[in-house]
Chains A and B, each alone.
Chain A
Amino acid sequence: MTYFLQQLINGLQLGFVYALIALGYTMVYGIVRLINFAHGDVFMVGAYLGFFALTSWHLSFPIAILLAMVGCALLGMFIERVAYKPLRNAARISALITAIGVSLFLEYFTSLKFVFGPYFRAYPRPFAIKTYELGGVTISNIQIIVFGVAILLMLALTLFVNYTKTGLAMRAVSFDHSTARLMGINVDNIISLTFGIGAALAGAGGVLYGIAYPQIHPFMGIMPGLKAFVAAVLGGIGIIPGAMLGAVIMGVVEKLTEVYISSTLRDAAAFGILIIVLLVRPAGLLGKKEGEKV
């Protein structure tokens, strides 16, 4: 039982990192209906920014996270402006293809030797690892930090979206672009902001991933990116609590499969759950079924 609880906590740790990435996917999809394939690579850039902040520039851990968030936010908004905005009125598939292009570009450009380099790097631990016992279950300070930062950011996002004027504008834009524009909302700025916030969360996720699973390389974003996206779909894409729920389920299922069944089947279990959920609830766990318009 304690072993199970222990693995549950490890799964939650993974789930919270996924959640930070999934939020970016879900917000962007909710607002422009685009599967932003480059999001996983923004997460990777965030991990690297944190890495350089901690090693080369000797900054403290909170500053490193902040730096990664700001850097990724700028990157996210830049990508939106250059690659997605010109295609906003084209077929959705064109924007998806440019997203794939941006993703490939980020991966291969950052693996050039003078950028990040193609090799694995060991992530620095900004502090010594301590473990605490709680009724037979051990929990490390790294895990506490991952949970703490993730919950703090998700709480901040929820408050922002639900209780500020800008948050209201975001919800309005996600509902209907042209009506929102009629109401005097600057739709372009809101979309830009959404990309920025999503990318900032992914950047924080990257640093947390770095300290929790201490190895990074330029292609590290692909799998967590896909899983986070799947988590967003699992919870109901476009719905912020859904992304968190889906990500936590994804992380826990993955960890439990790895421990109890086989580590090679870990990815199959995660995607298997997705297919089953989609068949039963096509709009995701928290999604509402949309009626067909005739």
Chain B
Amino acid sequence: MKRFSSGIVALLILIACFVVVEVLILTGVINPYVQTILSYAGIVVISALGLNLIYGYTGQFSLGHAAFYGIGAYVSALITRAIPNIGFLVLPLGLIGGALSAGVIAFLIGLPILRLKSDYLGIATLGFGMIMNVLFKNSDKVIPVMGGAAGMRGIVKLTTFPWVFFLVVIACIVLRNLIFSGVGRALLSIREDELAAEAVGINTTRYKTLGFVIGCMFAGVAGGLYAHLYTYLNPDNFDFLKSIDVLLIVVIGGMGSISGTVLAGFGWAILLEGLRVVLPSAVQEWRMVVYPLLLIIFMLVRPYGAMGGTEFGFLKPTEYRRG
């Protein structure tokens, strides 16, 4: 009974949030600019949830997340360009294509490099991200439509706030159910001690690859949404610094916490844009000076992130809840 009611409450809160935002959009209180920021925040959250699965839950240090985000973005943009307009289904098809391509490439690259440990894995994924960035910059030599360093233009605008909202919810549910399943326990045991996990019979290679592939598919979906939100892709949007942004969100939110990632993702997007609004235009350039200072202070005060591995109650199955 308790479990049932808590799920219903969570659902009602979600619906209420959605209705409030939609009403605000329809009445014009939230202008298209703010709407784009909200959508972008949701996209960042989806991507960060993927990295949290890879790093926060499985303990695989990845600095190349933006590469998969980019793969998803480019592939889904190419798909929606290639297929005829069949209405409602165009965006899902693009996103599925983006997620699958990110997943396949994650599998291929993951097989060899996931053997590496901690920082070395980070460096190898960083290298992979750099290589993908160079490939995006030279993409026009193979597929002229992709535009290379000049960027890809003319992508149809399909991403709307309801789509992003819906997919953030789906991503949270998928991640939550995965984490609290047998697979999730295997992933957590690998994070805690890989050797011990191996010793109790967990096929660590298989689970590490699985976690990595699913996490990268999240990034692929996020990339597809991004492409169809801004209708323009530039290789610079998928460089090393973008991987760092996602890493910041995961760590600030608290590693291994879905609620933390969601909070930090929205907080991060709103803070960066908020500083743009709050600071007077004369000191606009101070925005990017204040932001890292806040980041350093936050880390010194809360080294384990906002949520530090804990969750809001409704994200946990009954047996994990207190009382």
A292 contacts the other chain (Cβ, under 8 Å)?
yes
Give the distance in Å from the alpha carbon of A278 to the alpha carbon of B135 in the complex: 21
Known: A91-B303, A111-B285, A265-B138. A271 touches B296 (CB 8 A): no
B130 contact from A33, A83, A112, A267, Cβ within 8 A: A267
Give the distance in Å from the alpha carbon of A267 to the alpha carbon of B129 in the complex: 11
Residues 254-294 (chain A) with a chain B CB within 8 angstroms: 264-265, 267-268, 271-272, 274-275, 278-279, 282-283, 292, 294
Q: How many A-B residue pairs have CB under 8 A?
A: 118
Residues 78-119 (chain A) with a chain B CB within 8 angstroms: 83, 86-87, 90-91, 93-94, 97-98, 100-105, 108-109, 111-113, 118
A282 touches B289 (CB 8 A): no
- Nearest-neighbour CB distance to chain B for A110, whole angstroms, equals 10
B134 touches A265 (CB 8 A): yes
A230 contact from B127, B248, B285, Cβ within 8 A: B127
- Nearest-neighbour CB distance to chain B for A62, whole angstroms, equals 34
B276 contacts the other chain (Cβ, under 8 Å)?
no
Among A93, A102, A118, A229, the most chain B Cβ lie within 10 Å of the Cβ of A93
Which residue of chain A is the closest to B149 with respect to CB atoms?
A264
Give the distance in Å from the alpha carbon of A33 to the alpha carbon of B122 in the complex: 14
Give the distance in Å from the alpha carbon of A230 to the alpha carbon of B128 in the complex: 12
Residues 136-178 (chain A) with a chain B CB within 8 angstroms: none
A294 touches B195 (CB 8 A): yes
- Nearest-neighbour CB distance to chain A for B273, whole angstroms, equals 16
Please count how many residues in chain A sit with their CB below 8 Å of the partner chain's CB atoms: 42
B93 contacts the other chain (Cβ, under 8 Å)?
no
B292 touches A105 (CB 8 A): yes
B120 touches A97 (CB 8 A): no
Please count how many residues in chain B sit with their CB below 8 Å of the partner chain's CB atoms: 42
A264 touches B120 (CB 8 A): no
Give the distance in Å from the alpha carbon of A160 to the alpha carbon of B208 in the complex: 43
Give the distance in Å from the alpha carbon of A226 to the alpha carbon of B122 in the complex: 12
Give the distance in Å from the alpha carbon of A267 to the alpha carbon of B133 in the complex: 9
B300 contacts the other chain (Cβ, under 8 Å)?
yes
Secondary structure class of chain B's binding surface, majority of residues: helix
A97 contact from B124, B128, B131, B251, Cβ within 8 A: B251
A98 touches B123 (CB 8 A): no
Return chain B residues, CB-CB under 8 Å to A229: 123
B288 touches A101 (CB 8 A): no
A275 contact from B113, B247, B304, Cβ within 8 A: B113
Residues 19-45 (chain B) with a chain A CB within 8 angstroms: none
Give the distance in Å from the alpha carbon of A279 to the alpha carbon of B292 in the complex: 34
B242 contacts the other chain (Cβ, under 8 Å)?
no
B295 contacts the other chain (Cβ, under 8 Å)?
yes
B291 contacts the other chain (Cβ, under 8 Å)?
yes
Give the distance in Å from the alpha carbon of A111 to the alpha carbon of B133 in the complex: 25
Which residue of chain A is the closest to B196 with respect to CB atoms?
A294
Return chain A residues, CB-CB under 8 Å to B138: 264-265
A67 contacts the other chain (Cβ, under 8 Å)?
no
Known: A87-B300, A265-B134, A274-B127. A104 touches B195 (CB 8 A): no
B82 contacts the other chain (Cβ, under 8 Å)?
no
- Nearest-neighbour CB distance to chain B for A15, whole angstroms, equals 18
Give the distance in Å from the alpha carbon of A279 to the alpha carbon of B252 in the complex: 31
Give the distance in Å from the alpha carbon of A97 to the alpha carbon of B304 in the complex: 11
Residues 124-165 (chain B) with a chain A CB within 8 angstroms: 124, 126-128, 130-131, 133-135, 137-138, 149
Return chain B residues, CB-CB under 8 Å to A33: 119
- Nearest-neighbour CB distance to chain A for B270, whole angstroms, equals 18
- Nearest-neighbour CB distance to chain B for A77, whole angstroms, equals 17
Return chain A residues, CB-CB under 8 Å to B123: 229-230, 233, 274, 278
Known: A97-B295, A98-B299. A282 touches B135 (CB 8 A): no
Known: A101-B295, A268-B134, A282-B117. A86 touches B127 (CB 8 A): no
Known: A268-B134, A272-B127. A105 touches B293 (CB 8 A): yes
A35 contacts the other chain (Cβ, under 8 Å)?
yes
B116 contacts the other chain (Cβ, under 8 Å)?
yes
Return chain B residues, CB-CB under 8 Å to A98: 295-296, 299-300
Among B122, B127, B286, the most chain A Cβ lie within 10 Å of the Cβ of B127
- Closest CB pairs A-B (n = 10): A271-B127, A90-B303, A104-B292, A108-B288, A268-B134, A94-B303, A105-B292, A101-B295, A101-B296, A101-B292
Selected A-B contacts with CB under 8 Å, 27 pairs: A35-B122, A83-B300, A87-B303, A93-B255, A97-B299, A98-B300, A100-B244, A101-B295, A101-B299, A102-B292, A103-B292, A104-B291, A104-B295, A108-B289, A230-B126, A233-B120, A233-B123, A268-B134, A268-B135, A271-B128, A274-B127, A275-B124, A278-B113, A278-B124, A279-B113, A279-B115, A282-B120
Q: Known contacts A97-B247, A271-B130; can you find 8 more A-B pairs with CB under 8 A?
A: A83-B296, A94-B303, A97-B299, A101-B299, A112-B289, A226-B130, A264-B137, A283-B120
